């Protein structure tokens, strides 16, 4: 499985995009920075997007991804998410106020956008990948995702504070190759992390004790203002194969 990091930050400054990964060139895992990172030629190849939750730093490039490619030959997009997240897309994003309702454009019969509901922990298939959504603990309905192909699997927690079910499911995955989870704030902002449903390096350390295998762990979601502190505090955890993701890099699992 090929995973290209389009954006991996919990905020947006020049050169730093928000959470989004491109899997095998055609699937976006969250969409905080798809149109910001990909050329038009690359964007038009994106056919599917799985969305973990409604927050803008995971969704904000969707309107532009669609708008940029609306008239491109054969372009269409499917967005996959749990029902609460799909409802938020309909009501708050593609609602003809914030942005046009592309689920009925250019017409109702052949719309450019399809919203597809998935059920937690029920596998669905996209382009050779089997994917499961698993609930995590954030301040809006949120799932992480486990992506599996014939060779291996990766687990992405999305935004979460301390959580249990995600780790329980991850521990049952065969051929797990890597975990991607978040560290948004430094330890000094633990109260803010608690009320906003995020991790700090110290709570990350406790979460990683729930992970039974020794697979590499990659971190995303750092707030740009606090990246250096987060990096330093993550190092003190002294876990082997624990590092921040690098934007622009392609990882193979």
- Find the shortest distance in angstroms from Cβ 25 to Zn ion: 26
**Whole-number Å distance between alpha carbons of 142 and 84:** 9
Nearest CB to Zn ion, comparing residues 43 and 59: 59
Q: Is 55 in the site for Zn ion (CB under 5 A)?
A: yes
Give residues 142-161 in contact with Zn ion (rule: CB under 5 A). 159
- How many angstroms separate the Cα of 41 from the Cα of each of 38, 73, 75, 144, 213? 8, 12, 11, 28, 38
- The neighbouring-strand residues paired with 220 are 182
Place of tokens 């947006």: 12
What's the min distance (Å) between Cβ of 220 and Zn ion? Answer: 12
Is 182 an interacting residue with respect to Zn ion (CB under 5 A)? no
Buried b (16+ CB within 10 A) or exposed e, 26-46: ebbbbbbbbbbbbeeeebbeb
223 is a site residue for Zn ion (CB under 5 A): no
Kindly tell me which of 111 and 120 has the beta carbon lying closer to Zn ion. Answer: 120
Q: Which residues contact 14 (CB under 8 A, 6 or more apart)?
A: none
Question: Can residue 135 be called a binding residue for Zn ion (CB under 5 A)?
Answer: no
The two three-digit tokens of residue 129, written as one number:
């990948």
* Interface with Zn ion, residue 198, by CB under 5 A: no
Interface region with Zn ion, contact rule CB under 5 A, candidates 13-21, 50-58, 206-214, 230-238: 50-58
Enumerate binding residues for Zn ion (CB under 5 A): 55, 159
């Amino acid at each position: 499985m090929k995973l290209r990091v389009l954006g991996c930050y919990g905020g947006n400054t020049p050169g730093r995009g928000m959470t989004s990964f491109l899997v095998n060139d055609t699937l976006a895992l969250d969409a905080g920075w798809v149109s910001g990172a990909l050329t038009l030629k690359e964007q038009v190849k994106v056919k599917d997007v799985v969305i973990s939750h409604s927050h803008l730093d995971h969704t904000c490039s969707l309107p532009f991804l669609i708008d940029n490619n609306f008239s491109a030959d054969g372009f269409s997009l499917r967005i996959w998410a749990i029902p609460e997240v799909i409802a938020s897309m309909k009501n708050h994003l593609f609602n003809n106020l914030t942005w046009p309702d592309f689920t009925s454009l250019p017409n109702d019969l052949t719309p450019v956008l399809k919203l597809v509901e998935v059920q937690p922990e029920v596998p669905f298939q996209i382009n050779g990948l089997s994917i499961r959504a698993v609930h995590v603990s954030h301040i809006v309905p949120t799932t992480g995702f486990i992506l599996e192909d014939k060779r291996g699997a990766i687990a992405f927690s999305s935004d979460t504070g301390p959580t249990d079910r995600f780790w329980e499911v991850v521990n049952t995955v065969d051929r797990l190759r890597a975990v991607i989870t978040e560290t948004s704030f430094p330890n000094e902002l633990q109260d803010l992390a608690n009320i906003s449903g995020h991790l700090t390096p110290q709570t990350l350390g406790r979460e990683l004790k729930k992970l039974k295998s020794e697979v590499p762990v990659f971190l995303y979601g750092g707030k740009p203002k606090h990246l250096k502190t987060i990096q330093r505090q993550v190092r003190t955890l002294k876990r082997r194969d624990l590092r921040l993701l690098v934007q622009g890099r392609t990882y193979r699992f």
